[in-house]
A and B are shown apart, each in its own frame.
Chain A
Amino acid sequence: MEHKSIMVHCEVANGKLASIANELLGCASKIASELGQEVCALIMGSNIASVAQEAIALGANKVYVADDDQLENYQTELYIQVFENVITQIMPQVIILGQTDIGRDLAPSLAFRLGNPVAMDCIELNIEPSSKQLLFTRSVYGGKAQATLVFNSFPQIATVRAKTMEPLEFDNSRKGEVIVVNTQLNMEAVRTKILQRVGEEESGVRIEDASVLVVGGRGIGSADGFKQLEELALLLNGAVGASRPPCDNGWVSEKLQIGLTGKVIAPDIYFAIALSGSSQHMAGCSRSKNIVAINLDPQADIFNEACVGVVGDWKKVLPAFISRVRELINK
């Protein structure tokens, strides 16, 4: 049986499709139309049936809905079972997941369960015009290089980085089919037990939702230093973030980490304060619309990424900057 269709794992957040799902559907739609195939969305969870229409409006031709109490919280083994179930039904050519908490865990395990390789954290998916082969491009060496891979077996499995793909326009007139998956979960096969979930969300504007990010690096020097960044964030209705050293040093919660193994965001304004701009960090923010840098070192890599900046000591530059911004806002 020939492998057809582009399968997309659509994560659900707060009763709607997660933004990564919208991006993946956009990516899958482009590939599907070039290859003359269908986009099949897979939605898993509990009480998620209503989200199916959203997936159709954003590009899915078919939506497979696996709605089961046991799927409410992510568990590797159960999600693999549902995937295997649907894969036997639709024999996809490609399976795309988001490079998220779930995708990072699920994709490799799913791929190896199927005996196939996986391309993780892809930033581009293209089709080679003559062979129609799928080209998976991913960043490597912390972002210092880009590698393009091809696979010679099916299904071809990949995770895609957030903010790298464009969603389609939401169009409620799009038609599609909703298929209920008969989950038939084998609970005996689940060998891990989740005893408790502990939330550690930052208060205030969520990093992923903020249109302004004020991000501190190693040069901030202390937990106290971040108070000024909080002041600027508050003023501009933004959120505070950090590169890895402040998190490793315990100056801020690791939930603030932006980068290759942290959060990936693309706000309107990204203030990079005392932050060198290493490629591992830039992997998390390079798609920001405007990067503004303050750094003591004129050679810092961040000045190759920023559109505007000041070379100077943030401890002196930032307070004056904040005061003036306050004046300008109040005018």
Chain B
Amino acid sequence: MVKVLVCMKLVSDPEAPVSSFKVDSEAKQVIAASGSPPVINPFDENALEAALKLKDITDVKITIISMGQNLAKAVLRKTLAVGAEELILLDDVAFDDLNGFSTAFVLAAAIIKIGEFDIILCGRQSADTNAGQVGSGIAQILKIPCVTVVRQLKINDGKLTVERVVSAGYEIIEVMTPVLFTVGNESGELRAATLKAIMESQKKPIITWKAGDICLDALPQKQVNLIKLVTPPHSQISCQIVEGQSPEVAGVNLANKLKEVKII
């Protein structure tokens, strides 16, 4: 049986209307939009889908790990409904709003407590920080190889082949377990849960660990200090709207306009 761990982060909904996004620059925090519950980071959903695609073809046990404070269990339960076997919540005030550097150490410590595993899957970056460092960080801390932005996982007797996506195409890479992979949208959207699976998932275990339950001696003293958080300066551009009696006429007028202002 292949033991797969999937790290999943709850984030504020990146698809929420832009108008609901507000920054408190004094507190250096984003103001949570009321009535908009957190969602699972979209790339982490792709990571779970990659795990499930592997489970479609071989014997796999999937454990979900999520870190934060007052984690929205209802949102994370979805992972059990689509096929993960268990959910481990690292839920503690100490885990609230950690930067990527510290997060990698906390997740690595939790994984060490979990014990043996074959594959760790992480989304390539989170929708809030957009950093893309935690996956690689966990791998370095655990001293396992890391392959980023993969799709098409195939496993044969502890040996994995994956496609690593690069801008010019892809590479076919072979690596032995234990290994960490980061995943992007190329692995496909997370499948929907059937009603039956949703019901059955009520019986699956949700385990909660506090900071004291995992060994955090290795947490580094190095600091990353956020000194400023602002919305970007408002664009100075005002758009000239070209009109016309019909869309076709507007199209012609647009071409004329671009010629007139020497854009074309």
| A residues with CB within 8 A of B | 76-77, 100-101, 104-105, 107-109, 111-113, 115-121, 135, 137-153, 191-201, 236, 244, 247-248, 254-255, 260-261, 263, 269, 279-280, 290-294, 301, 303-313, 316-325, 328-329
Contact = CB atoms under 8 A, between A and B. Distances in A.
Interface in B106-146: 124-125, 127-133, 135-137, 139-141, 145-146
Interface stretch (B53-61, B89-97, B209-217, B251-259): B251-259
Which of A142, A263, A310, A323 has its CB near the most chain B CB atoms (within 10 A)? A310
Contacts of A104: 132, 148-149
Contacts of B184: 261
Contacts of A323: 252
B137 to A, nearest CB: 4
B263 A324 contact: no
A43 B225 CA distance: 31
Given A105-B136, A145-B21, 19 more contacts: A109-B140, A111-B133, A116-B222, A117-B100, A120-B132, A120-B133, A141-B30, A145-B30, A149-B224, A150-B224, A192-B174, A195-B161, A248-B185, A260-B130, A308-B241, A312-B250, A316-B251, A321-B252, A324-B254
Contacts of B185: 244, 247-248, 254, 261
A-B pairs, top 6 by smallest CB distance, nearest first, are A320-B251, A324-B255, A316-B247, A112-B140, A108-B136, A321-B251
24 contacts: A107-B133, A108-B135, A108-B140, A117-B222, A120-B133, A141-B130, A143-B232, A146-B230, A192-B147, A192-B174, A194-B172, A194-B173, A195-B171, A198-B172, A200-B169, A200-B170, A261-B184, A292-B254, A307-B237, A319-B251, A321-B251, A325-B258, A328-B259, A329-B264
Contacts of B137: 108, 111-112
Contacts of A309: 239-242, 254
Contacts of A200: 168-170
A320 B250 CA distance: 8
Contacts of B237: 291, 304-307
A150 B222 CA distance: 11
A164 B239 CA distance: 23
Which of A260, A261, A291 has its CB near the most chain B CB atoms (within 10 A)? A261
B264 A325 contact: yes
Decide if the interface of chain A is mainly helix, strand, loop or mixed. mixed
B207 interface: no
Contacts of A143: 232
A292 B263 contact: yes
B128 A140 contact: yes
Contacts of A280: 14
Nearest to A128: B227
Interface of B: 12, 14, 18, 21, 23, 30, 99-101, 104, 124-125, 127-133, 135-137, 139-141, 145-149, 161, 165-176, 179, 184-186, 189, 220, 222-232, 235, 237, 239-244, 246-259, 261, 263-264
Contacts of A113: 140
Decide if the interface of chain B is mainly helix, strand, loop or mixed. mixed
Contacts of A319: 248, 251
A142 B224 contact: no
A308 B240 CA distance: 4
A199 B169 contact: yes
Contacts of A100: 167
Nearest to A279: B18
A313 B163 CA distance: 39
Given A115-B222, A139-B232, A147-B229, A101 B254 contact: no
